[in-house]
Structure formats: C-alpha cells, structure tokens
Structure 1
Amino acid sequence: MEIAAVVILLLFTSFLTVGVVATVRTVRAVKRGVERTGLQARRMVEDTTLRARSIAQPGPAGRLAELRLSLRTSIVSTREALESEAASDPSLSEAMGLLTRLRSHAKQLDAELRLLEREPDRERLTARLPELEERTRRITHSADSLRWAAQDRARQFADDDLAALGRDIDVEAGALRHWTQAAPAPAAAPAPESKRLA
C-alpha cells in the first residue's frame, strides 16, 4: 500500500512539474509575442510620424525627419532580408555581423537626429545638415549594399538550383522514354500461304 502511495505521489509530482514547465514556457512565448507586436506597433507609429513631419514641416526640421526615416527604412529592410536568407545560407553570418556594427552607427545617428529635432537654433541646425546628410547617406548606402548583395546571392542560388533541376528533369524524361531510343526493328512478316506452296 505504501508503494502505491509513493508511485501515485511521484506521478502527481511529475505531472505537476510538467504542467509548471509548460505554463512557464507558454507565458514566456506569449510575452515575447506581445513585446514583438508592441515593438512593431511602435516602429509603425514612429515611421508614420516621421513621414508626416517630413511632409508637414518645411526646412531643416522636415529634412531631419526624412533622414531619420531613410535611415530606419534602410536598416530595417536590410536586417529583414539578411535574417530571412540566413536560415538557408549560413555564409551570411559575417554579413549579419557587419550589419550589427552598422546598426550601432545608425542608432547613434538616429539619436543625434532625434535630439536635433528639438534644437531651437535653426541656423546651427542648417549648418549641421550637410554633415548629417552625408553620414546618413554613407550608412544607408552600406546597408543597401549588404541587402542587394544578399538578394543577388539568393537569386543566383535559385537560378543555379533551377538549372540543375532542369538538367535532372531532362535526364529523367530521357530515361522514362527509353523505348524511343532503343526500339527493336520490326520483324519480317511471314510469307502468304499461297507463295509458300508454289
């Protein structure tokens, strides 16, 4: 009787442990999903705000919004492109490392641009714009280069794979039609009965 009680207690404890572990994992997964959705929503709101500012605010303030939007769009689209291709192409890990370094420069520049949006001295802001535009151009050009290279690489792999698949299909189609290549010669028809008797 004591053994049965111990076994039941062990089973109950193991089921309880499995339930707790499953609950904790589910809560963590939901939390990550909520954080990811919140981050995407914030990013969308910020991008929409920057678009509105770039249109509605003329002069340096509008130009700062354009620079921030250009910077963010380029970095985010490059990150998404590299991450989507990295699963099937491990050689993109070095490109991901370079993008990580580039993102730190982009974050620093974005923070600087955000601070300058509140700058009351318009002359100082106007004087800083050429340098800020050049830095933004360099970062976005580098990000775009990484993205385009990854896209070209993926397209080349797809083209190579499609060409190899076409060759394999041609070989298989030829093998399936083997009778057309080695068809035996038709046998001579037997002579009619009357000719054989004559």
Structure 2
Amino acid sequence: MEAVFAVVALLFVLFLVLGAYVTVKVVGAAKRGVDRTLTQARRTVEDHTLRAKSFAQPGAQGELAQLRLKLRTSMRATQDALHAGVAEDESLKESIGLFERLSVHGHELDGELKRLEAEPDRAALAERLPGLRERTEQVVRSADALRWAARDRARRFADDDLDSLRAQIDMEAGALRHWTTEEPPATAPPPWPEAPAAETPAAQQTWPDTPSPTAEEPTRPAITPPAPRAAYPWEKKRRPESTT
C-alpha cells in the first residue's frame, strides 16, 4: 500500500513539474511574440518619423533623417533576405557572419546619426555631413551587395532546376507521344545482278530433255485393251437388242 502511495505521489510531482515547464515555455513564447510586435511597431513608427523629417526639415537635419532611413531600410532588407535564404542554402551562413560584422558598424553609425539630430551647432553639423554621408554609402553598398548576391544565387539555382525539369518533361512528353515519332523509311534491298546467260552447247544441257520416240522404237498405245474374259456356265447369254 505504501508503494502505491509513493508511485501516486511521484506521478503527481512529475505532473506539477511538467505543468510548470509548459507554462514557462508558453509564457516565454508569448513574451517573445509581444517583444517582436513591440519592436516591429517601434521600428515602423520610427521609420515614418524619419520619412516625415526628411521631407519636412530642410538642411542638415533633413539629410540626417534621409541617411538614417536609407541605412535602416538597406540593413533590414539584407537581414531578412539572408535569414530567409539560409534555410535552403547553408552556404549563406558565411554571408550572415559577414553581415553581423557589418551590422556592428551600421548600429554605431545609426546611433551617431540619431545623436546628431539634436545637435544645435548647425555649422559643425554641416562640416561633418560629408564624412557621415560617405560612411553611410559604404555600409549601404556592402549590405546591398550581400543581399543581391544571395538573391542572384537563389535565382540561379531556380533557373538550373527549371531547366532540368523542363528537359525531363520534354523527354516524358516525347515518350507519351511515341506514336507520333516518324520512323525512317525502309530502304529496299539492292537488287541482285542478273547472272549472264551462258550459251550452253547442245551436247551440254543443264537439265535433260524428255526422250522423244524414235523410228526404231514402236509407239505403244496409250491404253492396252484387256484380254477377252472367259465365260462361265452359270452366266446367261445376253439377248440381242431388238431393232423394232
């Protein structure tokens, strides 16, 4: 009886532990989902704010907003393209490693541009704009190169697969339409040359003729008449036919 209680208690504890584990997992997944949603919403709001600043604020402030918006758009598009393609092409892992190193410079540059938005010294800001513009172009160029290379690689694989599939389909279609395949016309065998007619002398003939009767050999009648049949005493004599 005590063993039964011990087993029941052990099962109860296991169920509690399992329930707690599942609860933690569900809460963690929900929290991550909420965090992703909040992050996405914050990014969307910030992007719209930067777009509005780039049109509304003239001068250096507007150009800073344009640089930040261009940098963030390129980096986010490259990140999405690489992470989406690595599931089918593992060779993109090296590209993701390079992008992560590039992201460090991108985040530093974005933070510097964001801090300069509140810079009151317009003259100093104007002096630093060419350098900031060049750094932004370098990061954006590198991100675009990685993104387009990954897309070109995926498209190349898709084209190769399509070419192979089309060749297989053409082969299968030809096999299904086997009756439409024109067979080469049958060539007649070349005629054998006729043997020249040999002049065989009368004394030498290939096939002997049927011997004809000669004068020395009497001609036999075609049918030999039968000998007169002997009469027997029990046979009646035939009466002469009447002429009347």
Structure 1: give runs of 5+ residues left out of the alignment. Answer: 184-198
Which whole-Å CA distance do the structure 2 matches of 1:90 and 1:24 have between them? 32
Shift of 1:134: 0.7
Q: CA deviation at 1:40?
A: 0.6
SS of the counterpart of 2:91? helix
- In the other structure, the counterpart of 1:18 is 18
Deviations 1:111-154 (A, max 9, x none): 11111111111111111111111111111011011101111111
| C-alpha distance in structure 1 between counterparts of 2:171 and 2:18, whole Å | 53
Match of 2:116 in 1: 116
* Distance change (3 Å), C-alpha of 1:5 and 1:173: farther
Shift of 1:27: 0.8
Find the structure with the greater CA-based Rg: 2
Q: Report the counterpart of residue 158 of structure 1 in structure 2.
A: 158
Amino acid at match of 1:87: A
Q: Which of the two has greater helix per residue?
A: 1
TM-score (norm 2): 0.71
The structure with higher relative contact order (CA 8 Å, sep 6+) is 1
Tell me which residue corresponds to 2:68. Answer: 68
TM superposition shift of 1:17: 1.7
Structure 2 matches for 1:4-15, cutoff 5 A?
4-15=4-15
Q: Which range is displaced more, 3-12 or 172-181?
A: 172-181
> Which residue does 1:37 correspond to in 2?
37
What amino acid does structure 2 have at the position aligned with 1:108? E
Report the residue type matching 1:40 in the other structure.
Answer: Q
Q: CA RMSD in A?
A: 1.7
Q: What letter is aligned with 2:31? A: K
TM-score by length of 1: 0.87
Q: State the alpha-carbon separation in 2 of the partners of residues 63 and 142 from structure 1.
A: 21
Identify if the C-alpha distance between structure 1 residues 176 and 13 changes in structure 2 by more than 3 Å, giving closer, same or farther: farther
Structure 2: gaps (5+ residues)? 184-244
